[in-house]
A and B are shown apart, each in its own frame.
Chain A
Amino acid sequence: MRTNDVILQTVTKTVSFIILLFSVYLFFAGHHNPGGGFIGGLMTAGAIVLLYIAYDIETMKKVIPLDYKKMIALGLLIAVSTGIGSFLFHVPFLSHSFGYFYLPVLGKTELATAVLFDLGVYLTVVGVTMTIILSIGEDDE
């Protein structure tokens, strides 16, 4: 018997935006406050898992046409290349630096290269979590 999931689906549509926004907040909070790439990535994966619970896998493939395995590779590539990038400035591997810049709208902003490394962590965590959950969920014998 198929039940009508309209309440779950409608609530999920609105709640997933708030969870995703909170995950982005956690990701950027990582430098001065609790948070960072790992918890942000897990929270994003949590929002996507909620969507997968409310909808079926075929629908979600159309809504989010992302290859999560490629996402892992991209995340690792970003993390490694921020490490290699420090060789360009003749400093040891994975050296980190930051500075204050004046951006057009945002004004005085602190930009740190550690955020780029965090972005790699974030993408890898999302990719790994989603790959694990989907490869378990798709095994439908």
Chain B
Amino acid sequence: MAVQVLLNFLLAFIWMFLNQSWDPVTFILGYIIGLGLIYFLHRFLQGPFYFKRVIAIVSLILLFIKELILSSISVIKLILRPNMDFRPGIFALPTDLKSDWEITLLASLITLTPGTLTLEVSPKGDTLYIHAMDLPDTQEAISQIKNSFERAIKEVTR
């Protein structure tokens, strides 16, 4: 993947040399053309086409912003209630993510969304303990995180 990014930059620079113009516009144009050429021959290079991963990263960021807004609204609804009748709780989230980087990213994303907070990662690294502000159904909370964040992280890293 890193090789493909470097090759793309190299092609953009060769494009600038060919056109003898040193402005950012030529660089962007060369980068786009190089991207097309790398897609044309990406089966020669190691790994999948790198721009797929860029799209996955962008969609992860967009998913995070969406979850941030939705859970902020639900937390605002909770704290504006006259009586405190919601149920806080701690639940265990079994995760398929393997590498340290993936688990850290998942834990950070869970912590950054209001209402949930990662407390601890199990010593083997296959379970996350999460505190939720309002926990009507544990199974639903687990499946919600698994379907949104964990799936998007998997798209990025593999």
Contacts and interface: CB of A to CB of B under 8 A. Distances in A.
Chain B: interface residue count, which band? 10 to 19
A106 B15 CA distance: 15
Given A21-B33, A63-B43, A105 B28 contact: yes
Nearest to A20: B37
Interface residues of A, number: 16
A21 to B, nearest CB: 5
Interface string B65-97: 000000000000000000000000000000000
A63 B37 contact: no
B37 A17 contact: yes
Interface string B87-113: 000000000000000000000000000
A44 to B, nearest CB: 10
A31 to B, nearest CB: 13
A71 interface: no
Contact of B19 (A16, A25, A105, A106): A25
Interface in B22-50: 25, 28-30, 33-34, 37-38, 40-41, 43-45
B25 A21 contact: no
Given A105-B28, A106-B25, A25 B40 contact: no
B29 A21 contact: no
A51 B7 CA distance: 18
A18 B38 CA distance: 11
B7 to A, nearest CB: 7
A22 B18 contact: yes
Interface of B: 7, 11, 14-15, 18-19, 25, 28-30, 33-34, 37-38, 40-41, 43-45
